[in-house]
Structure 1
């Protein structure tokens, strides 16, 4: 509990920002779901067959896994709040539509007859009789949808939409239970508060309820307009993949950019997600810069010919080819850092000693007893598990797991082999050994800022600033910085600033 309070105290500003993002996404999704579902439910009152179909459709939509739905939306609407809101609206439709339909269907026929006897029009009867009577049931559906939205909105952090899910992902990635608990508790409390408010509105006059909701929405809209009007002339968005290392790198980018141009606002989106999310976000102008590695460029983002692949066989400098192929896509790949953050197969030091394991080839003698835990991206890559099967002739019993959990599983003995990177702090933290890639499967992974060519042309001074990192940072230095963030729980920005100052890349203000 003491750790939780300390974390809340240290990160209260970040928590408030994430809370605001979470509320914004949730309210927009709820309003859109209400606007769609309630009129639709009113219309189908006289079309029972259509109502049955729509109930089935909304029910099926709610069964689609949220991550799958987000992934399906990315090619069409990009990354960020838009796909998150669309997904949340999809999940909220069923309870609102179903409760509105049932609430209107269950109205006592005598009330309908009385309204008809008074000569009320269809529209007047709806607003004066039917909706007021069905309102408690409708609001119950809205309340259910609100709780569902707030809970599901934590996944918005996976595609750069922010919210309280950021802390949950960060806590899992860094094995920090207090961060995860802070995000989860904040989301739960938010759901309780909104549920209570909607329950309160259910007990008062429906006109007053609508007025209160309208005032809240107008206030929210006014705040958004004010923020838009007072925003700085230019905002540069820098995103990073999951993990402490991308978090450190984007913090360095931010400091270097702000030093070069103090007038721009730099927004960081850490723990943005997998490579495909970031790449699509960059191509669709949702973000401006993110750190990428040459091996990933050639394996996942471009299609080198067979001849080009032979030229950059494992162990050879593949950065020039990566830069060349990205240029054809209208992207600028800046100068790379010194370290090679390549893949590695990792085991516990005690396990390596027991079976005399030094190279990946040594695993052949115990392959049947190996239980591996790899992340999904590694399993599906030619320079990952596919390549291990082809080049080394090795096959293991493999469990797929989130990258942030695999080292913990290895430490607890739930698996005895996993994939990692040569700069991972966990190698030091858990006393692990990276087996030598004796057949040269893994290519070189040199990292550098990636941006659109148009952005680079309009910001040559920022390109110059970011190129200061070229040929800096060794593998040991990166591993030490990762250790400081992941294990010692220092802030990534603090670690990044310390490195820049110590190595003369940034002058500390006096």
Structure 2
């Protein structure tokens, strides 16, 4: 493990520095903005106890909302990237800073304040010479709590293209790369300790020096983010991919194909973007221009009231027409492989029970234990519907995390699990996928989903991407996924080798 971690650090030093810089800037901006909002608000409301309690309740309610839900709500309004991530982090940080500042200011001994009034001190003198200094230990405590919370939550910014250390954690989870996962976790913990130490040092300064330091930091951060926004290239295409090795392979193919035809075009990749909901909102809002999507996902999840054909050609045509009509998105020609659901068993059991199709499994299901991903187990059109269609009656059925089910199958804890037909674990663990002989599951062919205005602006993009039309077999994708997820090879190199081998590059 240590060798893998050191190897990754040495081979990805530049990526680590960039991610660390993004995480620091993101966290620092959120802390400063939250403090600038929460501390003056607490000062304003310290003499209005009823209003202060209301604000505390509101801040508490906001903090109970799952961070992913907040990010999902923000995308249609403010897009993706750093800005919505900062907004979400600020919302979470306000509660501890406001609560501690408000408590520190309202718990000061009333006799002390009465004595200050008796001496004729002004309210500003009382605030800056008595109240804030006495409340400072609690204020700093609130800042430290908010800092740890922000640095931890900021890892989710990677789901919406916000960058940061979360990219290593997400990729590590999806590809079972413990080196990346550990690196992201260690650096996040170190950052939290460093920020906490920095707040402790700042707490020793006078209020005047604190104010100057905060002001300079705000000006510098504001200038950085403004300059970054103004210097973004105009001729740019943003290609995003969902979590996992397979989407990352595909978007690297898209990038290389487009750039081979358009040398001057700037193509930006946003890998490990998150789930279908996030990425679909992003392409509709214009923050993402292209991403790979599957016909079954379009028909089942993105287009309401759409019937699902079990014929691949018809499913694609239905998905293309619906996307064009409802969202002005162009669904280009699909690839050959199908990344649909299937049931998987160990090779030894397939030979022992003569299992080739799901119907064969039905005869033996009462002797076997199944373990399914939570979504597959619960969604009506997954296991519950499949159970009814095939008459499956397993001895026992367990619901478990998707990352555990393959290990459970390999270790003999379960006998059957759900799989995507291009999962690399099928090759790594020598598993057999059973043929869906009743064609219960709809087709899941991958194809580039592109904004209509991008194809009008850059017509050659369509021709570039459609070089993948009817390319990439199931075995091709399993092999590429295996290289990225199990062997931890770089997705861009794996993608390049496939394109070069099949003469798809100019």
TM-based fold match above 0.5: yes
Secondary structure in structure 1 of the residue aligned to 2:164: coil
2:368 is the alignment partner of 1:358: no
What CA distance in whole angstroms lies between the structure 1 residues aligned with 2:332 and 2:203? 57
2:194 is the alignment partner of 1:196: no
**Matched residue, 1:391:** 389
In 1, are the aligned partners of 2:34 and 2:93 still within 8 Å (CA)?
yes
Secondary structure in structure 2 of the residue aligned to 1:449: strand
For 1:211-222, what aligned pairs fall within 5 Å after superposition? 211-222=212-223
**Matched residue, 2:302:** 301
CA RMSD of aligned residues (A): 2.4
- 1:249 CA drift (Å): 0.4
What CA distance in whole angstroms lies between the structure 1 residues aligned with 2:183 and 2:367? 42
Please list every run of 5 or more consecutive structure 2 residues that lacks an aligned counterpart in the other structure. Answer: none
After superposition, give the CA deviation of every residue in 1:223-243 in whole Å (9 maximum; x if it has no partner). Answer: 223333433223221111121
**Matched residue, 1:464:** 463
In 2, are the aligned partners of 1:373 and 1:415 still within 8 Å (CA)?
no
What CA distance in whole angstroms lies between the structure 2 residues aligned with 1:493 and 1:233? 24
**Matched residue, 2:133:** 132
- 1:141 CA drift (Å): 0.7
2:329 is the alignment partner of 1:328: no
Secondary structure in structure 1 of the residue aligned to 2:203: helix
In 1, are the aligned partners of 2:243 and 2:273 still within 8 Å (CA)?
yes
1:348–1:45: structure 2 CA closer, same or farther, 3 Å change rule?
same
**Matched residue, 1:445:** 444
**Matched residue, 2:17:** 16
The partner residue of 2:339 within 338, 341, 345 is: 341
- 1:418 CA drift (Å): 2.5
In 2, are the aligned partners of 1:348 and 1:410 still within 8 Å (CA)?
yes
What CA distance in whole angstroms lies between the structure 1 residues aligned with 2:425 and 2:384? 24
What CA distance in whole angstroms lies between the structure 1 residues aligned with 2:150 and 2:221? 18
After superposition, give the CA deviation of every residue in 1:365-391 in whole Å (9 maximum; x if it has no partner). Answer: 324752322252674262x22431342
- 1:76 CA drift (Å): 5.5
Secondary structure in structure 2 of the residue aligned to 1:29: helix
Give the TM-score of the pair, scaled to structure 1: 0.91
**Matched residue, 2:483:** 484
What CA distance in whole angstroms lies between the structure 2 residues aligned with 1:80 and 1:43? 33
Please list every run of 5 or more consecutive structure 1 residues that lacks an aligned counterpart in the other structure. Answer: none
In 2, are the aligned partners of 1:240 and 1:250 still within 8 Å (CA)?
yes
In 2, are the aligned partners of 1:135 and 1:206 still within 8 Å (CA)?
no
**Matched residue, 1:228:** 229
What CA distance in whole angstroms lies between the structure 2 residues aligned with 1:277 and 1:141? 32
- 1:337 CA drift (Å): 1.4
**Matched residue, 1:416:** 415
1:183–1:381: structure 2 CA closer, same or farther, 3 Å change rule?
farther
Secondary structure in structure 2 of the residue aligned to 1:444: coil
**Matched residue, 1:252:** 253
- 1:222 CA drift (Å): 2.1
The partner residue of 2:315 within 291, 315, 318 is: 318
Give the TM-score of the pair, scaled to structure 2: 0.92
In 2, are the aligned partners of 1:174 and 1:404 still within 8 Å (CA)?
no
After superposition, give the CA deviation of every residue in 1:441-480 in whole Å (9 maximum; x if it has no partner). Answer: 1222221110111221111012221112112212211111
- 1:415 CA drift (Å): 3.9
- 1:305 CA drift (Å): 5.0
**Matched residue, 2:29:** 28
In 2, are the aligned partners of 1:346 and 1:432 still within 8 Å (CA)?
yes
What CA distance in whole angstroms lies between the structure 1 residues aligned with 2:60 and 2:305? 44
Secondary structure in structure 2 of the residue aligned to 1:27: helix
1:214–1:429: structure 2 CA closer, same or farther, 3 Å change rule?
same
**Matched residue, 2:106:** 105
1:113–1:17: structure 2 CA closer, same or farther, 3 Å change rule?
same
Secondary structure in structure 2 of the residue aligned to 1:318: helix
Deviates more, 1:284-293 or 1:408-417: 408-417
**Matched residue, 1:433:** 432
- 1:164 CA drift (Å): 0.9
**Matched residue, 1:288:** 289
- 1:43 CA drift (Å): 2.5
1:385–1:471: structure 2 CA closer, same or farther, 3 Å change rule?
same
In 1, are the aligned partners of 2:42 and 2:98 still within 8 Å (CA)?
yes
- 1:91 CA drift (Å): 2.2
What CA distance in whole angstroms lies between the structure 2 residues aligned with 1:241 and 1:481? 16
1:227–1:385: structure 2 CA closer, same or farther, 3 Å change rule?
same
What CA distance in whole angstroms lies between the structure 1 residues aligned with 2:64 and 2:45? 23
1:32–1:398: structure 2 CA closer, same or farther, 3 Å change rule?
farther
1:477–1:290: structure 2 CA closer, same or farther, 3 Å change rule?
same
**Matched residue, 1:275:** 276
Counting matched residue pairs gives 502
For 1:17-166, what aligned pairs fall within 5 Å after superposition? 17-74=18-75, 77-166=78-167
In 1, are the aligned partners of 2:154 and 2:166 still within 8 Å (CA)?
yes
